[in-house]
């Protein structure tokens, strides 16, 4: 039994030696095969490096495209919010105008206790409305004494005034407001000729 094991081990050793002797011949034949049109290992490695670089460049482009998309969506979201909020705030401007008229009317009615306290209450509501509007980025468009700008002002009257320079706003008939760069409502004004 021990002899059989020794013989088996010897046979395995011999088989491995013959394999080792045949392998260099196989590599030689592999080299000749690559010379017959198949790419060498260096060429394959170079090809894989090129593909890897191509995939890396594609990945960078996709990341840049996604980043641009994300920024564009955020900007569009801001603009949409601004327009929606602007429409709602525009409706509040009418309420503010009416409250200012009521305050002026209460002041014109005299200085009785009832009128004074009513004017004070109306002024508090006006201040509260202005605070709400300014919290949402709404600001009054400066007009009185400014140079007329058709993007910000709407002229409904022109008056010949020698004391003022041509195009100067003499009187604001209705206040104008804007939110960020968007004009919610232009100022309605009287302009010097």
Residues 128-183 have pLDDT tens digits of: 999 988 888 889 999 998 999 999 999 999 988 888 888 899 999 999 999 878 88
3-state secondary structure of 155: strand
Question: Cα 154 to the chain's mean position, in Å?
Answer: 31
Q: What is the pLDDT of residues 36-51, one digit of tens each?
A: 567 789 999 999 999 9
Give all strands of the β-sheet with 177-179 in edge-to-edge order: 138-140, 177-179, 182-185
In the structure, what pLDDT confidence band is assigned to residue 65 with cuts at 50, 70 and 90? very high
Rounded Cα gap, residues 124 and 129, in angstroms: 9
Q: The tokens of 39 are what?
A: 């790419």
3-state secondary structure of 161: coil
pLDDT at position 37 is: 65
Of the candidates 178, 170, 189, 172, the one whose C-alpha atom is nearest the C-alpha of residue 140 is 178
Beta strands per DSSP E along 49-152 = 138-140
């Amino acid at each position: 039994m021990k002899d059989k094991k020794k013989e088996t081990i010897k046979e395995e050793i011999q088989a491995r030696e013959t394999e080792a002797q045949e392998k260099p011949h196989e590599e030689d034949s592999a080299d000749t095969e690559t010379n017959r049109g198949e790419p060498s290992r260096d060429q394959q490695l170079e090809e894989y490096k090129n593909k890897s670089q191509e995939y890396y460049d594609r990945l960078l482009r996709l990341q840049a495209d996604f980043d641009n998309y994300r920024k564009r969506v955020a900007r569009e979201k801001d603009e949409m919010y601004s327009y929606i909020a602007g429409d709602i705030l525009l409706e509040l401007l009418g309420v503010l105008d009416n409250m200012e008229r009521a305050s002026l009317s209460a002041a014109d009615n005299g200085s009785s206790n009832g009128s004074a306290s009513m004017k004070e209450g109306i002024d508090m509501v006006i201040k509260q409305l202005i605070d709400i509007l300014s919290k949402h980025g709404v600001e009054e468009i400066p007009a009185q004494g400014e140079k007329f700008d058709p993007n910000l002002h709407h002229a409904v009257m022109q008056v010949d005034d020698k004391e003022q320079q041509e195009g100067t706003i003499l009187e604001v008939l209705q206040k104008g407001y804007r939110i960020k760069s968007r004009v919610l409502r232009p100022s309605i004004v009287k302009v010097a000729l």
